Structure 1
Amino acid sequence: MKPHLLLIEPMMPAVEKALDESYVVHRWQKDELPKDAPIRAIATGGGTGVPRAVMDALPALEIIAINGIGTDAVDLVEASRRGIAVTVTRDVLTDDVADLAMALMLASMRDLLPGDRLVRDNLWGKQVLPLARKVSGARVGIVGMGQVGQAIGKRAQAFSMQVSYFSRRNLDLPAFPFVSSLPALAEQSDILVVAASGGAQSRNLVDRKVIDALGPDGLLVNVARGTVVDEQALVSALQEGRLGRAALDVFTDEPNVPDALKTMPNVVLQPHRASATIETRQAMGRLVLDNLTAHFAGSPLLTPVTPLF
């Protein structure tokens, strides 16, 4: 008999087809849960995760397979207590996230969006854009130096950027100097890139003090989680000229974005799509499927989240 699985976030058609072939798939309809279904698995995304009420309503739940690397929307303590396995799709989306971080840097520093609009509006030759900022050789500070942070650092070095980082501990990375104070890192950086994990431990890590240290000529790039940055402090700093630019792929209350950010010419916005390429989403979906297959076959999981206790 096929195991019952709850699909919380839609996935690529080929992945959903494979799920339908191997499982009795129940597609989540907001707050509605299938009645009397012995659901043993959940496939979800990092953004939605698993609402605690859903987890509590599924006594037979054995595994949560996250299509992403974020675990802040899953109660890992409760999952560990109940012996529910949790997997992510680490390793396969690192390049895409790092690529987008670089794209956001370039788009913001070189004013690519204002230039695009000027051409489309037939204003080339009629209006002149202000001079942009140089990217090569800029000083880059990276907040969070896991796989994504290190991949961003390597790409930045290809632009002759001076790269340093802040993390919970010194990782002794030969190519990247560690800075033990986040405000100090921001103060010595032209660009601050947020690549830290989300969750309670990093909420509002980038606060007003950090933003002010980055300063009126600085650029803040966030490809991590919206909650890592104090969004209101960010908006205020941009409005008041205490921060020069921002380039954001993530927000505190997605898909809701502060209206003020939408009207600022010095802000680049993306709809949380750092891993949104065909190749990477296929690889992520395959890893979700492989983790589920391994679980129900009694084999070791490919990319489990480390138990909290």
Structure 2
Amino acid sequence: MAQIHTNQTLSVNLPEVLVLGPPSIFRIYEKHLSQKFMLLKPWESPIPLEEFLSIHAQNTTAVLTSSVVAYLSSALRLLPSVRLVVTSSVGLDHIDLKECRRRGISVAYAPSVFSADVANLAVGLWVDVLRKISAANCFLKTGLWPVKGDYPLATKLGGKRVGIIGLGRIGREVAKRLEAFGSKISYQSREKKPSVSYPFYTDVCELASNSDVLIICCALNDQTYHLINREVLQALGRQGVIINAARGAIIDEKALVQFLQEGKIAGAGLDVFEHEPNVPEELLELDNVVFSPHSAVFTEESCKDLYDLVVGNLKAFFSNKPLLSPVQFDDFMR
């Protein structure tokens, strides 16, 4: 427990929480968190990260992190006293779950806070790509309408065959929204969902060959890394569109660039990229690709809900109560 002083010079004891990640991720609720916890923020220290961690190694029992922290596993090796990792993300690809279970480290995540917002953005990207909203907006703003006349025809939304990869919380939310468009939905997942009537495919290529649009909603792990490769894109075909609001590395980005450049698929809507924040220049030059900067999860409302969940998990941990959203290791380590 760390001791701090308020403006009234009163001493209060607050539980220590080590924050690992870019400060921009946590600024949206950092002020409120600091009223409840003593936040250890390496980016405010002049000393190197490893030295900072070694100074706090023995007393740090809780870590708050995010999906963009690639160095989390190496950091945890320097923190022998950690008993909880709270991540502000749905995805868990940045956390070594096997090592956490071996060490008895509990993990809490945000499995449902963002589901509706991510689904909304994924469907929004789909609408934008097919109806060419962003491209038409650019066409108008750059003064091409009076010069070139009518804008090229877009593509109808209704009746499209949409294949969803990963029918978890977000995938189901996407499917629910697509039903309103009259989409013909099918899906691929680790296993068939007993309560779902959509056609199920075990093979992603087979799903792609029977879809006009692929929407990626699965987690990134060893099995899904570059799941969308040349074979899948080839199966999707020249009229096909791919939407990704999950994780960038699920798609072989080099293959995607080539297929888009050569017209081997029709378009893409991308909220995530393989090497964020770097986006291939070749992609940026294409008007049949719609982008957002990994922002699907961020709305004012979702940030408030996330703050409540993060605080709830941390409070539960320091009070020796059950976590609000614990990771069930067996569900992610099959």
Is TM more than 0.5 here?
yes
- Does the CA-based 8 Å contact 2:16-2:39 persist in structure 1? yes
Q: Is residue 104 from structure 1 mapped to residue 125 from structure 2 by the alignment?
A: yes
After TM superposition, the structure 1 stretch with the greater mean CA deviation from structure 2, 11-20 or 195-204, is 11-20
Q: By how many angstroms is 1:113 displaced? A: 1.1
State TM-score, norm by structure 1: 0.95
After TM superposition, the structure 1 stretch with the greater mean CA deviation from structure 2, 241-250 or 48-57, is 48-57
After TM superposition, the structure 1 stretch with the greater mean CA deviation from structure 2, 135-144 or 176-185, is 176-185
Q: Is residue 26 from structure 1 mapped to residue 40 from structure 2 by the alignment?
A: yes
For 1:131-280, what aligned pairs fall within 5 Å after superposition?
131-280=153-302
Q: For 1:222-276, what per-residue CA distance to the aligned partner results, in whole angstroms no more than 9, with x for missing partners?
A: 1111111111111111122211111111111111111111111111111111111
Structure 2: how far apart are the matches of 1:178 and 1:53?
39
Q: By how many angstroms is 1:12 displaced? A: 5.4
Greater Rg by CA = 2
- Does the CA-based 8 Å contact 2:67-2:91 persist in structure 1? yes
Q: By how many angstroms is 1:111 displaced? A: 0.6
Q: Which residue of 2 aligns with 1:65?
A: 86
Q: Which amino acid aligns with 2:103?
A: R
Q: Which residue of 2 aligns with 1:292?
A: 314
- Does the CA-based 8 Å contact 1:189-1:214 persist in structure 2? yes
SS in structure 2 at match of 1:61: coil
- Does the CA-based 8 Å contact 1:49-1:66 persist in structure 2? no
- Does the CA-based 8 Å contact 1:186-1:214 persist in structure 2? yes
- Measured at CA, do residues 173 and 50 of structure 1 come closer, stay the same or move farther in structure 2, by a change above 3 Å? farther
Q: By how many angstroms is 1:304 displaced? A: 0.7
Q: Is residue 82 from structure 1 mapped to residue 120 from structure 2 by the alignment?
A: no
Question: Among residues 30, 36, 39, which one is paired with 2:60 in the alignment?
Answer: 39
- Does the CA-based 8 Å contact 1:6-1:26 persist in structure 2? yes
SS in structure 2 at match of 1:292: helix
SS in structure 1 at match of 2:136: helix
Q: By how many angstroms is 1:28 displaced? A: 2.9
Q: For 1:107-142, what per-residue CA distance to the aligned partner results, in whole angstroms no more than 9, with x for missing partners?
A: 100111111112212222322321111111111000
Q: Which amino acid aligns with 2:117?
A: D
Q: Which residue of 1 aligns with 2:18?
A: 6
Q: For 1:33-85, what per-residue CA distance to the aligned partner results, in whole angstroms no more than 9, with x for missing partners?
A: 42422221111112226522211111111111111111101111111111111
State TM-score, norm by structure 2: 0.88
SS in structure 2 at match of 1:149: helix
Q: For 1:263-297, what per-residue CA distance to the aligned partner results, in whole angstroms no more than 9, with x for missing partners?
A: 11111111111111000111012101100110111
Structure 2: how far apart are the matches of 1:123 and 1:240?
25
Structure 2: how far apart are the matches of 1:157 and 1:132?
21
Q: For 1:1-35, what per-residue CA distance to the aligned partner results, in whole angstroms no more than 9, with x for missing partners?
A: 33321112345556312321222211133961424
SS in structure 2 at match of 1:184: helix
Structure 2: how far apart are the matches of 1:305 and 1:50?
20
Structure 2: how far apart are the matches of 1:22 and 1:306?
27
Unaligned runs of 5+ in 1: none
How many equivalent pairs are there?
Answer: 309
Q: Which amino acid aligns with 2:18?
A: L
Higher relative CO (Cα under 8 Å, sequence separation at least 6) belongs to 1
Structure 1: how far apart are the matches of 2:165 and 2:285?
27
Structure 2: how far apart are the matches of 1:240 and 1:117?
22
Q: Is residue 91 from structure 1 mapped to residue 112 from structure 2 by the alignment?
A: yes
Structure 1: how far apart are the matches of 2:194 and 2:267?
31
Percent identity of equivalent pairs: 35
- Does the CA-based 8 Å contact 1:206-1:230 persist in structure 2? yes
SS in structure 1 at match of 2:145: coil
Structure 1: how far apart are the matches of 2:80 and 2:203?
44
